[in-house]
Structure 1
Amino acid sequence: MLDRVSYHAVIRYLDRVLGLPVDEWLVGMDHLAEDRKARLCCQRAGLPVDAVRNAILSPIVFLAVRSGISGAVKHDGFVFVLQRGSVLTVMPQRMYVRTMGSRYGSPREHQDRSKKRRKERRRLLALAEVE
Structure 2
Amino acid sequence: MPEDATVRSGQCHCGTVRFEARLSDGFATIRRCTCSFCRMRGAIAVSAEMGGVRVLEGEDALTSYRFNTGIAQHFFCSRCGIYTHHQRRSNPNQYGVNVACLSGISPFDFEEVPVTDGINHPGDIGGVARQAGVLRYFPAT
TM-score where L is the length of structure 1? 0.28
Greater Rg, structure 1 or structure 2? 1
Q: TM-score, normalised by structure 2?
A: 0.27
